[in-house]
């Protein structure tokens, strides 16, 4: 799995229900959008100028990143919060898009059925077993290394960004199942920029991940409340 969004989606799946965990229902699509922006940022395909995203290229090695760049190039510069809110629908239902991408890579099997013969329902079966223990061990090792103020390589920085995305998507406890440990990890994630020796692009990415998702969720709540009031 190359993209942070792909890794985030796989970790979001409840292995028993074979669907994303219910607690991430409101935030997962925004988390996936933020993950795509993060990949674009660390690959120097976009940059943030005056609090707005500006594309630096029209091409990317990954088709999903390239499609996102096309959307940005066809638009005036917008804030990260705008794109986190807009990408879930502009990318043809971001969860399904990423699931199909993973299926094409033989990482997932996507199953579709209809409820009452009318409403489509999807389940996802991951073909990679024992993924959680591997990811947890990597996170712990990297956090310990960072705590010693040791420089991190690019791969390790990507894992920290994935951890930040899990935190913003309310999924840290999927990897760290012990409640007390999960709380400690969440606390450390909140202080990533202050305490860890990260590169400038990664600091910027971790900075706007949580902010963008939080603002997107707040916008969704306000929109929903306004719509409900109008209907009433």
> Tokens standing for 61?
């090695």
Q: What is the pLDDT of residues 11-43, one digit of tens each?
A: 999 999 999 999 888 889 989 999 999 999 888
- The whole-model pTM stands at 0.87
pLDDT at 10: 94
Cβ burial of 171 (10 Å; 0-12, 13-18, 19+) is buried
| Interval 112-160: pLDDT, tens | 888 887 888 899 998 877 789 999 999 999 888 877 878 888 888 889 8
Greatest Cα-to-Cα distance within the chain, rounded to the nearest angstrom:
57
Determine if residue 83 is left, alpha or beta; phi over 0 gives left, psi from -120 to 50 gives alpha, anything else beta: alpha
Structure tokens at 179: 């409640």
- What 3-state DSSP class applies to 86? helix
The arithmetic mean of pLDDT across residues 170-175, rounded, is 92
Q: What is the pLDDT of residues 178-229, one digit of tens each?
A: 999 999 998 888 776 566 556 666 666 666 676 777 777 676 544 443 444 4
pLDDT reported for residue 229: 44
Task: Outline where 148-197 has alpha helix (H).
Answer: 154-168, 172-175, 179-190, 192-195
Over residues 1-11, the mean pLDDT reads 90
Query: Which band of pLDDT confidence, cut at 50, 70 and 90, is reported for residue 232?
Result: very low
Q: What angle do CA 52, 56, 60 make, to 5 degrees?
A: 120
User: Regarding the domain delimited by 4-228, which CATH topology (the fold level of the hierarchy) does it fall under?
Assistant: yeast vps74-n-term truncation variant fold (1.10.3630)
User: What's the rounded mean pLDDT across residues 158-181?
Assistant: 91
Sequence-separated (6 or more) residues with CB below 8 Å from residue 97: 64, 91
Q: How many other C-beta atoms can be found within 10 angstroms of the C-beta atom of residue 111?
A: 11
pLDDT at 174: 93
């Amino acid at each position: 799995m190359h993209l942070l969004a792909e890794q985030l989606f796989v970790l979001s799946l409840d292995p028993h229900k074979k669907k994303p965990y219910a607690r991430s229902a409101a935030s997962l699509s925004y988390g996936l959008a933020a993950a795509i922006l993060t990949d674009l940022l660390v690959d120097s395909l976009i940059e943030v100028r005056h609090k707005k995203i500006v594309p630096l290229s029209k091409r990317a090695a990954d088709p999903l990143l390239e499609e996102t760049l096309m959307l940005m190039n066809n638009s005036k510069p917008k804030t990260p919060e705008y794109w986190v809110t807009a990408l879930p629908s502009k990318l043809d239902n971001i969860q399904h898009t990423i699931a199909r991408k993973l299926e094409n890579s033989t990482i997932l099997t996507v199953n579709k059925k209809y409820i009452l013969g009318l409403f489509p329902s999807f389940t996802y079966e991951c073909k990679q077993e024992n993924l959680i223990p591997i990811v947890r061990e990597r996170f712990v090792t990297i956090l310990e290394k960072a705590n010693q103020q040791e420089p991190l390589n690019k791969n390790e920085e990507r894992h920290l960004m994935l951890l930040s995305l899990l935190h913003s998507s309310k999924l840290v406890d999927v990897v760290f199942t012990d409640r007390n440990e999960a709380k400690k990890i969440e606390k450390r994630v909140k202080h990533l920029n202050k305490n860890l020796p990260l590169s400038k692009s990664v600091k910027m990415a971790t900075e706007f991940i949580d902010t963008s998702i939080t603002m997107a969720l707040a916008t969704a709540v306000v929109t929903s409340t306004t719509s409900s009031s109008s209907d009433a």
